[in-house]
């Protein structure tokens, strides 16, 4: 089967070109095809961008074990509706993804749905208890692309060191959810002006930074690749800048909500703005945006963390941390393009090119001949209200529900197949 995408503005990490993309089967056959090329399906993309399918290195699909929040199928539907064609689910499932059987279960379930590719992140320690290493070799062979105890930071520096060292032997890497739990205490939002005003207990930025510093040093010690996930503060970025300038093998990611929203959202005690790390101050947001612009930050991820409405409809302190994000990553990231902070190639670098390289999936992340035909056709001008009819996740815990957004995937193409089409009335 052949598909022709006509009149695209083809965006790659290094340039934007005008052209027609010919897909043959699962593979991109040409990016310079004639507009009259014979194909089984032709989509006119005039005025629209063709970007490599987004690759989200940080999601929580709750499957197995907590399928009332999300499962692999609903998560995949939310992903493709957001132009995302590959995701890395974190290991905090029930049971924890700390063995090859669960890793393979996840991958197979996603393959059966055929919507996205799923590359699991395995647990760094057994049961995410922070004590014994998991069988990283076996899990890597089973398809795990990295290791992390996301949500339960590894307290012991020794354990973290050994995990990083061991993972590197299998060509893999570790992902650090940097948080000093002893400093976070009973905190529920950023410790700043808003925590002082609202009486909600604060989590200082230093709670993240102190662990980022440790994990950078563990990378220095071991030479292993350490990826710092969902960074939220200016201080963290300063540390990462330093690490990179020293040539340490450190990378990092940021979520759209951390570069878009500030602690001010919490003045209303909205549990849909409760996440960990918390929304920080304006100066942090400014620093993160600058980091995206200048390349200090390697990629944008969602930290898509679905929770059942009943769980969020509680006293603020009792509500769980986390928001969904797969369907809002594209518009919130495109907002940076519209503001002129980043250009379209940088957008692609942050949302697909770099993530693909971090997990060593070089068959994607580019629109080029021979690459996998994972493509999102993006209308950057489309304005719409993100409502329940558009929402594909099982959960609705996002501050953007009911809000006006700009920019969406009109078509999401996974391995040459159209897996999502935006419902334009």
Partner 1 sequence: MTYKRKDLLGMKDLTKEEILYLLETAQKFTEINERDVKKVPTLKGKTVINLFFEPSTRTRTSFEIAGKRLSADTINFTASSSSTTKGETLIDTVKNMEAMKSDIFVVRHSYSGAVKYIAEHTDAKIINAGDGLNEHPTQALLDMLTIRQSKGRLEGLEVAIIGDITHSRVARSDVWAMTKLGVNVRLFGPTTMIPKHSHVFGCRVCKSMNEAVEGADVIIMLRIQRERQGKLLIPSTKEYAKYFGLTKDKLALAKPDALVMHPGPINRGVELMSNVADSDNSGVLKQVTNGVAVRMAALYILGIGNNKGGIDENAS
- The footprint of partner 1 (CB under 8 A) covers 191-193, 195-202, 204, 269, 310, 313-318
Q: Which is nearer to partner 1, 156 or 314 (CB)?
A: 314
Angle CA(291)–CA(293)–CA(294) in degrees, nearest 5? 70
Q: What's the min distance (Å) between Cβ of 193 and partner 1?
A: 5
Least Å distance, CB 269 to partner 1, is: 3
Assess contact for 413 and 419: CB atoms under 8 A.
yes
C-alpha angle 312/317/323, rounded to 5°?
A: 40
* CB nearer to partner 1: pick between 269 and 422: 269
CB 8 to partner 1: min, Å: 47
Using CA atoms, how far apart are residues 308 and 118, in angstroms rounded to an integer? 23
Q: How far is the CB of 195 from partner 1 (least distance, A)?
A: 7
Cβ(395)–Cβ(307) below 8 Å: yes
CA–CA separation, 82 and 392 (whole Å):
10
- β partners of residue 2: 24
User: Which of these is catalytic: 117, 303, 374, 379?
Assistant: 303
- Least spacing, CB of residue 287 vs partner 1, in Å: 18
Residue 237 vs residues 176, 276, 296: alpha-carbon distances, Å:
14, 17, 8
267, two tokens: 């003045």
Please, what sign has the CA dihedral across residues 358, 112, 326, 274? Answer: negative
Nearer to partner 1, 101 or 196 (CB): 196
Q: Nearer Cβ to partner 1, position 233 or 327? A: 233
**Minimum distance of partner 1 from residue 313's CB (angstroms):** 7
Which sign, positive or negative, has the C-alpha torsion 169, 302, 178, 60?
Answer: negative
Q: Quick check: is 63 catalytic?
A: no
Nearer to partner 1, 86 or 281 (CB): 281
Question: CB of 207: closest distance to partner 1 in angstroms?
Answer: 13
Q: Which is nearer to partner 1, 7 or 264 (CB)?
A: 264
Q: Give the whole-angstrom CA distance, residue 212 versus residue 218.
A: 10
Kindly give the residue spans of alpha helices, DSSP state H, lying in 148-306.
157-169, 181-184, 193-198, 206-222, 234-245, 256-260, 282-294
* Cα 76 to Cα 118: distance, rounded to the nearest angstrom: 9
Give the Cβ contact number of residue 119 at 10 Å: 23
CA distance 102 to 142: 9
* Nearer to partner 1 among residue 172 and residue 195 (C-beta): 195
Minimum CB–partner distance for residue 24 and partner 1 (Å): 55
Within 13 Å of residue 76, how many CA atoms lie on the same side as its CB? 22
Cβ-based nearer residue to partner 1, 113 or 263: 263
Would you call the peptide bond into 179 cis, given omega within 30 degrees of 0 as the criterion? no
Contact (Cβ atoms closer than 8 angstroms) between residue 205 and residue 173: no
**Burial of 237: CB neighbours in 10 Å, binned 0-12, 13-18, 19+:** buried
Just list the catalytic residues: 303
């Amino acid at each position: 089967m052949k598909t022709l995408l006509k009149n695209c503005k083809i965006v790659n990490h290094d340039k934007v070109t005008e052209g027609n993309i010919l897909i043959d089967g699962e593979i991109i056959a040409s990016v310079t095809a004639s507009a009259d090329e014979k194909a089984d399906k032709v989509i006119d993309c005039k005025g629209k961008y063709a970007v490599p399918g987004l690759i989200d290195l940080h999601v929580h699909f709750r499957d197995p074990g907590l399928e009332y929040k999300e499962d692999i199928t609903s998560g995949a539907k939310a992903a493709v509706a957001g132009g995302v064609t590959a995701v890395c689910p974190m290991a905090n499932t029930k049971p924890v993804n700390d063995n090859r059987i669960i890793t393979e279960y996840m991958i197979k379930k996603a393959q059966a749905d055929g919507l996205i590719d799923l590359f699991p992140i395995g647990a760094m320690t057994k049961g995410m208890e922070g004590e014994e290493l998991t069988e990283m070799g076996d899990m890597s062979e089973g398809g795990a692309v990295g290791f992390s105890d996301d949500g339960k930071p590894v307290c012991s520096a020794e354990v973290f060191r050994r995990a990083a060292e061991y993972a590197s032997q299998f060509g893999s890497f570790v992902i650090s959810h940097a948080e000093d739990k002893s400093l976070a205490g009973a905190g529920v939002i950023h410790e700043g002006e808003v925590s002082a005003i609202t009486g909600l207990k604060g989590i200082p930025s230093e709670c993240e930074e102190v662990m980022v510093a440790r994990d950078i040093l563990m990378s220095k010690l071991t030479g292993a690749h350490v990826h710092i996930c969902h960074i939220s503060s200016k201080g963290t970025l300063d540390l990462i800048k330093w690490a990179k300038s020293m040539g340490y093998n450190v990378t990092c990611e940021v979520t759209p909500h951390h570069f878009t929203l500030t602690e001010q959202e919490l003045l209303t005690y909205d549990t849909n703005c409760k996440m960990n790390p918390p929304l920080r101050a304006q100066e942090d947001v400014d620093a993160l945006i600058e980091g995206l612009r200048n390349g200090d930050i390697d990629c944008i991820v969602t930290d898509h963390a679905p929770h059942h409405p009943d769980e969020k409809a509680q006293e603020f302190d009792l509500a769980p941390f986390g928001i969904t994000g797969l369907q809002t990553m594209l518009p919130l990231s495109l907002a940076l393009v519209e503001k002129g902070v980043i250009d379209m190639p940088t957008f692609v670098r942050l949302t697909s090119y770099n993530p693909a390289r971090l997990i060593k999936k070089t068959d994607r992340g580019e629109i080029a001949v021979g690459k996998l035909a994972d493509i999102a056709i993006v209308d950057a001008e489309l304005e719409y209200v993100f409502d329940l009819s558009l929402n594909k996740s099982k959960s609705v815990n996002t501050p953007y529900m009911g809000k006006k957004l700009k920019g969406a995937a009109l078509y999401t193409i996974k391995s040459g197949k159209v897996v999502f089409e935006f419902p334009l009335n």
